């Protein structure tokens, strides 16, 4: 059984960066395709990016290109998502999730608040 | 990028009734790589259906998915109190990018 445990809530100022972590247990991160999804308050789900096993690379949604970096530390089975140049519209709950396209395991979510 | 449009935005029904949720894609979804998720307030989404019609592990058989190409449907045969929630469709193709629909809220009438 895969379990994903995310880092705690963050409060950031506009223009700053945030790094959210997702610790995997019950499976090896290197055997999973990790994705990141966010949800602004009262809004729907938004896919940010994830690992494409066919091309063996991480694909980012066009909206976040140049601002987001997704990395993996296989020595600790921890995935990271860093979002830079934060603005108020980036206030959201950020989820890590894994699966072969359909996402059957999700972290609990990390609230990132961007406020001056 | 494939755009998914869900309808209706809100569905008001009573327990025991049948719910029919629609998800329409802007272009054909390859190999029926279409999933449905349920989300309750304050919780992460839960996978219900993958491959357009296969139930995920532990999902009751009152949930069913159907469709192909650009038109997909999630049906809840008889609504239980715990089924009142938000529902999202997602297309995941053969590789990213993936996209979600805007969601349908199933609320108690």
**pLDDT tens for each residue of A25-46:** 999 999 999 999 999 999 999 9
> Is residue A112 within 8 Å of residue A9, measured between CB atoms?
yes
pLDDT tens-digit profile of A43-91?
A: 999 999 999 888 889 999 999 999 999 999 999 999 999 999 999 999 9
By C-alpha distance, the chain A residue nearest B99 is A47
Percentage of the residues of chain A whose pLDDT score is greater than 90: 90
Residue B95, pLDDT score: 66
* Cβ–Cβ below 8 Å for A62 and B97: yes
Strand locations in B26-80 (E): 34-39, 46-50, 54-55, 63-68, 71-76
| For residue B31, pLDDT beyond 80 | no
Residue A112, pLDDT score: 98
Q: What is the 3-state secondary structure (H, E, C) of chain A?
A: CCEEEECCCEEECCCCCEEEEEEEECCCHHHCCEEEEEECCCCCCEEEEEEECCCCEEEECHHHCCCEEEEEECCCCEEEEEECCCCHHHCEEEEEEECCCCCCEECCCEEEEECC
Q: Could you tell me which residues come within 8 angstroms of residue A96 by beta carbon, excluding any fewer than 6 positions away?
A: A4, A6, A20, A22, A34, A35, A36, A79, A81, A106, A107
pLDDT tens-digit profile of B50-105?
A: 999 999 999 999 999 999 999 999 999 999 999 999 999 999 876 668 999 999 99
Average pLDDT score, chain A: 95
* Cβ–Cβ below 8 Å for B100 and A44: yes
Q: Which of A54, A62, A95 sits opposite B94 (nearest CB)?
A: A54
Q: Do strands B99-100 and B86-91 pair parallel, antiparallel, or not at all (unpaired)?
A: antiparallel
Q: Which of A20, A101, A104, A107 to mutate to test the interface with B (most CBs of B within 10 A)?
A: A101
Is B30 in the A-facing interface, judged by CB distances under 8 Å? no
Residue A100 — very low, low, confident or very high, per pLDDT cuts 50/70/90? confident
Between CA A105 and CA B13 the distance in angstroms is: 29
**What H or E segment, with its residue span, contains residue B105?**
strand B104-108
């Amino acid at each position: 059984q895969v379990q994903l445990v995310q880092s705690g809530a963050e409060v950031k100022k506009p223009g700053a960066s945030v790094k959210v972590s997702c610790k995997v247990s019950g499976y090896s991160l290197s055997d999973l395709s990790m994705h990141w999804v966010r949800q602004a308050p009262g809004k729907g789900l938004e896919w940010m990016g994830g690992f494409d096993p066919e091309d063996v690379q991480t694909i980012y949604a066009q909206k976040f290109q140049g601002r987001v970096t997704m990395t993996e530390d296989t020595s600790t089975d921890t995935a990271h998502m860093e979002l830079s140049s934060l603005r108020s519209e980036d206030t959201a709950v950020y989820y890590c999730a894994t699966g072969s396209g359909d996402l059957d395991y999700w972290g609990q979510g990390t609230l990132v608040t961007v406020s001056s | 990028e494939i755009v998914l449009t869900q309808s209706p935005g809100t569905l008001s029904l009573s327990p025991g009734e049948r719910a029919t949720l629609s998800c329409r894609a802007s272009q054909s979804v390859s190999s029926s790589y279409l999933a449905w998720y349920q989300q309750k307030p304050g919780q992460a989404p839960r996978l219900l259906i993958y491959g357009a019609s296969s139930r995920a592990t532990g999902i009751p058989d009152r949930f069913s998915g159907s469709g192909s190409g650009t038109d997909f449907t999630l049906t809840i045969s008889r609504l239980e109190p715990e089924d009142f929630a938000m529902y999202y469709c997602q297309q995941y193709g053969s590789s990213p990018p993936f996209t979600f629909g805007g969601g349908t809220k199933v609320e108690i009438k």
